[in-house]
Amino acid sequence: MSDSRVIEKAYEAARERYAELGVDTDKAMSQLSRTAISLHCWQGDDVGGFEKTAEGLSGGGIMATGAYPGKARTADELRADIEKAMSLIPGKHRLNLHAMYAEAAGKVERNELGAEHFTAWLDWAKANELGLDFNGTFFSHPKAESGFTLSSADEEIRKFWVEHGIACRKIGAAMGKELGTACVTNLWIPDGFKDIPMDRKGPRERLRKSLDEIFAEKIERKRLLDSVESKLFGIGSECYVVGSHEFYMGYAVENRVLLCLDTGHFHPTEVVSDKISSVMTFLDEILLHVSRGVRWDSDHVVILSDELRSIAEELVRGDYLERVHIGLDFFDASINRVAAWVIGTRCMLKALLIALLEPTQKLREMELAGDYTARLAMLEEHKTLPFGAVWDYYCLKENTPAQADWLKEIRDYEAKVTSLR
């Protein structure tokens, strides 16, 4: 168990050290506490969902691997797991739901879903004072098996998914209204070809038409924020993805919807940290799906990597925290699923804290003065500043376990709850 007196002492020393550089640690912590991360419900059950006929993930070109015991089998179990995870993460956050997590008695088709199928989630969100975000589920469904949904040449299939998209916006708007905080409702479709297409144009024209139909109804932004997510390739769509980055960038700029940048959806040498200031020049707001790409997998648990730190730095340096919605998107079925949420979210917060503790103004002055020697020297010196002491103190202040104390709680929860499933 960590000793709070040791943490407080270390914090005092860190506070002085940062003050010497003109950085106010208390201000950084208060900014951090105002930044909400949207936790993705699908980490809790390997992107399974609760549809009566669902056989797990299929036809979406996304895949959770591993067989760690204890995954949530019902919405109540999933909610309990999320509550556990949130109790181990400092700050107040949000929950990101997917349409396939509806709780309906009997089977309700995806194009017929309504807010009434999410009342238990809504009541729970209210009771826990959480904002909700939402996603259409355009995969793991017989009507997605051809590999095409909104861009399908089969008019009946295309219509079905357009209706699903419209239904999801209504659900998102109802959630936003009910909870008094805009619901970011994201749209990702798996559409694409495994092998070389001969028609790249047709599906993209159909996708544009479908999106226009889905977004036709104007809904107040204080309730609903629409977002569209691109991808470079997926399993089974290696040669061509209809909803590419260029496609959605154009669509988002033209239609003033949010663009979702998933950090695992680009070429391995491309980084989202470098894209943020470019897209923010043309867009009001964006959504991030923070993930960790490893070789061909786009969804490893987020760690405190150089790129995660760079993303957080961009958000802080560009003063984008109010305009960028931070969501997580990873799934790992090979480790304790509740721990995966805790690790990933705590890392996202640590990256933000490190960025908030940066003497940005001083570094900017060096750059403007052309003193690139000092810029490099100071950036490297800052890497060993005592941010860990500030982080531990922040956890303590927010009444969440500091250091690795949270792991013991996961072990207890595993023994008492998840291992009995």
Q: Give strand ranges (E) for 117-237.
A: 131-135, 183-187, 192-193, 224-229
Distances, alpha carbon 391 to alpha carbons 90, 273, 309, 340, 349, in Å: 10, 23, 15, 19, 9
Name the closest residue to ligand RNT (Cβ): 188
Q: Which listed residue (188, 341, 391, 406) is catalytic? A: 188
Q: Pick what 18 binds: Zn ion, ligand RNT, none; C-beta below 5 to 8 Å, kind-dependent.
A: none
Instruction: Provide the minimum distance between the beta carbon of 235 and ligand RNT in the complex, in angstroms, as a whole number.
Output: 10
Q: Pick what 42 binds: ligand RNT, Zn ion, none; C-beta below 5 to 8 Å, kind-dependent.
A: ligand RNT
Instruction: Clarify whether 124 is annotated catalytic.
Output: no
CB neighbourhood size of 221 (10 A)? 14
Instruction: Clarify whether 129 is annotated catalytic.
Output: no
Binding-residue pattern over the window 316 to 345 for Zn ion, x denoting contact by CB under 5 A = -------------x----------------
Q: Pick what 337 binds: ligand RNT, Zn ion, none; C-beta below 5 to 8 Å, kind-dependent.
A: none
Residues near ligand RNT, by CB under 6 A: 42, 47, 62, 135, 188, 229, 231, 234, 262, 289, 329
> Which is nearer to ligand RNT, 302 or 396 (by Cβ)?
302
Instruction: Provide the minimum distance between the beta carbon of 21 and ligand RNT in the complex, in angstroms, as a whole number.
Output: 38
Q: Are 184 and 133 in contact (CB under 8 A)?
A: yes
Both tokens of 119, joined, read: 């009342």
Task: Compute the distance between CA of residue 335 and CA of residue 45 in angstroms, rounded to an integer.
Answer: 12
Write down the residue that tokens 């009001």 correspond to: 284
Distances, alpha carbon 147 to alpha carbons 140, 141, 235, 236, 269, in Å: 10, 10, 11, 8, 27
Instruction: Provide the minimum distance between the beta carbon of 299 and Zn ion in the complex, in angstroms, as a whole number.
Output: 8
Q: Does the protein bind Zn ion through residue 289 (CB under 5 A)? A: yes
Binding-residue pattern over the window 252 to 271 for Zn ion, x denoting contact by CB under 5 A = ----------x---------
Q: Pick what 62 binds: Zn ion, ligand RNT, none; C-beta below 5 to 8 Å, kind-dependent.
A: ligand RNT
Q: Report the SS3 class of residue 340.
A: helix
Instruction: Provide the minimum distance between the beta carbon of 186 and Zn ion in the complex, in angstroms, as a whole number.
Output: 8
Please name the residues in contact with 50: beta carbons below 8 A apart, sequence gap of 6 or more: 74, 75, 100, 101, 102, 103
Task: Compute the distance between CA of residue 314 and CA of residue 179 in angstroms, rounded to an integer.
Answer: 30
Q: Report the SS3 class of residue 355.
A: helix
Instruction: Clarify whether 262 is annotated catalytic.
Output: yes
Q: Which listed residue (289, 313, 314, 325) is catalytic? A: 289
Instruction: Clarify whether 365 is annotated catalytic.
Output: no
Catalytic positions, please?
A: 188, 229, 231, 262, 265, 289, 297, 299, 329
